[in-house]
Structure 1
Amino acid sequence: MVVISRAVSLALRSGQLISAVIVAGIVGHYLAVLDDAGLHPGDRFIYTEVVAGLAIFTSLLLLIPMTWAMTPLPWDFVMFLLWIISFGLLADYLAPASCTWYAAWSPVYRLGGTVEEECSTWKTSLAFIFISAMLWLASFFLGLWVIHRLKKGGIATKRRPWYRSNY
């Protein structure tokens, strides 16, 4: 049972890392284009880039196969909330520009490609933000399940003192 939960945890952490890298790449490209044009990006894009950076760092740290990496419950839930906030902020900003005539003159879509390409890029970004949020939530529930199984099986009992470890 422990092997299965560790394998699932490794798969979830890998998915979190991949999703965060994709979002960081898309939003980072947008920020670079705006910087080259001398425009100030919205705070929501900077927030999303920071959340993606935190997710990359955290998922890399938690990919290390240690026992403590299985159950960082509060941080998993915090990361889920951060991603959901990011999703809401970007969806609220991008929703009026629904890939119609408005998108042709909206500064959100001025990344160098056609309107359809840029629209699909932002939809991809929103999709991976949502996927990442769900992966963090799944990690949270996996951690809860692991803790529940350990307590139910009697494994999470008091540890023996270090000087009695040879008995």
Structure 2
Amino acid sequence: MAETGFAHEVISVILRLSELSSAIIVLGILSRFCYLAGIAEAHVDERIIYTIFVACLVIMYSICFCPPFKSMFLGFSFDFVMFVMWLVAYCLLQTRTGSHLCSSSWYYNYWGYYWGRLWRVGPVGTVNVDAAGCASWRTALAFAFIAWFLHILSGVLGIYVFRTYIKLDETKADIKQHAEKLAK
């Protein structure tokens, strides 16, 4: 491989750890909501389930691709796949509340109602939800946004490294050599 700098490897690890952190935060908040909805024996919105699925994929991907080996930069195309998946997840969540966030009917009758455990007080629509779970909802939206932004940055960095530093023939030879070492 061509001589490379050190900065892109450090930036790559920082981006991967940030992606991992964002996914863990989103997964934690949405899992807590699923737990609360499960206690109330309510259904969980499909959009929330999709976002949980994306967060789980990103956690596995970020852990596997965190080491700053040069051959790991070949996975930059998957960064763009994850970017699209996070963008879809963010848009699906955002369209639930629109610009009203914590004053929308979906929030008031679903997220806030179950997050605040208000099913124990009365039926949907008869209980004052106030801001129960509003900060959690906003945090989940914010970190879903941050996650897709980090993935696009990571993909752009991967393209830069691939075009600047990685020579495909040398990379194939390195991968073959590592595979032979592992086979022994």
TM range (shorter): 0.7 to 0.9
Q: Is the 8 A contact 2:12 2:68 kept in 1?
A: no
Provide closer, same or farther for how the CA distance between residues 97 and 35 of structure 1 changes in structure 2, counting only shifts above 3 A: farther
| Superposition TM-score, scaled by structure 2 size | 0.77
Are 2:135 and 1:116 aligned? no
Are 2:140 and 1:137 aligned? no
Q: Is the 8 A contact 2:112 2:132 kept in 1?
A: no
- Structure 1 unaligned regions, length at least 5: none
- Structure 2 unaligned regions, length at least 5: 118-128, 178-184
Which letter maps to 2:158? G
Q: Deviations over 1:29-87 (max 9, x none)?
A: 01111111101111111000000000001001111332222231221000000000000
1:146 aligned residue (139, 143, 161) = 161
RMSD, aligned CA: 2.5
1:79 is matched with which residue?
82
Q: Deviations over 1:103-158 (max 9, x none)?
A: 7841121212763251121111101001000100000000111112126xxxx163
2:67 is matched with which residue?
64
Which deviates more from structure 2 when the two are superposed, residues 109-118 or residues 69-78?
A: 109-118
Provide closer, same or farther for how the CA distance between residues 96 and 130 of structure 1 changes in structure 2, counting only shifts above 3 A: closer
Q: Is the 8 A contact 2:26 2:55 kept in 1?
A: yes
The separation in 2 between residues aligned to 1:47 and 1:157, in whole angstroms, is 36
Are 2:25 and 1:22 aligned? yes
The separation in 1 between residues aligned to 2:50 and 2:103, in whole angstroms, is 26
1:7 is matched with which residue?
10
Q: Is the 8 A contact 1:109 1:119 kept in 2?
A: yes
The separation in 2 between residues aligned to 1:87 and 1:46, in whole angstroms, is 12
| Superposition TM-score, scaled by structure 1 size | 0.85
The separation in 2 between residues aligned to 1:149 and 1:161, in whole angstroms, is 18
2:169 aligned residue (135, 138, 158) = 158
Q: Is the 8 A contact 2:31 2:52 kept in 1?
A: yes
Q: Is the 8 A contact 2:102 2:108 kept in 1?
A: no
Q: Is the 8 A contact 1:87 1:126 kept in 2?
A: yes
Give % identity: 28
